[in-house]
Each structure stands twice: as C-alpha cells, then as structure tokens.
Amino acid sequence: MDLSIIIPCYNEVDNIPKLDREFVPVVEALAQTRTVEVIFVDDGCTDGTVEALQKAFGDEKRWPVRVERHDRNRGLGAAIRTGLAAAQGDVLVTTDSDGTYKFTEIPALLALLTPEVDIVTASPYHPHGGVAGVPAYRLVLSRGSSLLYRLLVSWRINTYTALFRAYRRSAIAEVTFQSDGFLAGTELLVKAMLSGARAVELPAVLHSRVHGVSKAKIMRTIRAHLGFQWRIFLHRLGLVSLVDHRPPAGG
C-alpha cells in the first residue's frame, strides 16, 4: 500500500455529502498512479454518521474504504491513533472530515514529501497561508500556541496545530503520543521533530466549518497545550525526557 488517508469522524453526518462530492474525486485521481486506502474512524458517533458513510462509500471502488469504530467517544487523539494503527500505507495523510482544509490540497501535501522530507503540515500561519471565516477565539488559541511552539521547538514551522498532514510511516512508526484530545496532532509533530524528523509546511487556507460545530473544548485544550509546552521547556533543559518510543516487538 502506497498511501493511507485517515479521517476521524465524530457526529459528522451533515458533512458526508461534502466528502462524497469533494473528497472522492481527489482519491480517484490519486488512485490512478498509486495504491490508496481510505480509513474513516468512527469516534462514537450517535447521529447516523456511520450509516451515511456506508451509504456514500459502500459501493465497489478501485480503492478500499474501511470504517474503524470506537464504542464511545474517546477524542480526536484516540481516533488518530486508531487510524494510524489500522493504516497500511508507507505514506499517511490525516485530514479533517469537515474539509476546513480543502481536500484538493492533498496532492500538494504529497508533492512536498520529497526524499529529504518526513512530514508535511498545512500552515495557515505561513506568510503565504491564510484563514477564511474562522472564529476569532479559535485563531487566538491556535496562533498563540503555535507561537510558543516556534520558540520552544523550531522557528521554521509557523503552524503546529493543523491536523491536515502527510507523514512518512518510517518517521513516526516508533513515536508515541498520549493525548486523546486536540493536542494529539501537535504532540506527534513535536515528538517526531525532536526525534530527528524533517518537517516542512504547505501554505494553506484554513476555512470555517460549513456544517456542524467544532468539537474542541477550549479551556481543556489550552491547559493541555500549556502542560505540553512546559514539558518541552523542561526537556530542553535536560530535566525530563520528552521523546519516548514504542518498545521493540516482544519487548
């Protein structure tokens, strides 16, 4: 398998038509030149999302579609872990189900994943990126967090909070992340970079949701980022080890 595309879902029934309309043509085009699988992670949906996915993606396609299911809502981080564990591709793409980053940008992510690059992350805060219609409170949280990560980790990366990314499996296979919430993507990126992974950015536009509401719990997310940033600071001082790896098989 060349490419796995992982899409966490929690009560996204209103966004399934958009996925069918805008996401499927992108995968069809990618499948012309590589083997592709799509993995949806049902994070305890209660609104008919799974049934809508099965209806939209149940027909035979040139690429396999799977739905991994949680028996209850466990959080975005847990859904990402489930998707990564189920994926078989050498390259792994994670994307939001609501299309806040355009699905048509997936080929651009992959184009930047050259042999010298391990991770490509979308970046609305790049000088050539942007935001469109996103609530101000979300931008304050995301921009503020990314600024602190730039100071603590690497100034080259402008945005640390995007889910829309492409990873080489080899760069993250041994990197663990514990967060079950919205910190997870940042935790994975930072730990991979501290382990030596080379990350670059795709300048992108972050759009507001059309359907549904953000599942972010603002105060909980702020506390999680501040706690992780404190651990990075202590790691930089040599007082704690931030980068932990999976034990070897059989270990």
Domain ranges of the chain: 3-236
Give the model confidence (pLDDT) of 71-113 as tens digits: 999 999 999 999 999 999 999 999 999 889 999 999 999 999 9
Q: What is the pTM of this model?
A: 0.92
For the domain covering 3-236, report its CATH number.
3.90.550.10
Measured from the Cβ of residue 223, the count of other Cβ atoms closer than 10 Å reads 13
Give the position of tokens 């997310």: 221
State the pLDDT at residue 1. Answer: 78
Amino acid at 41: V
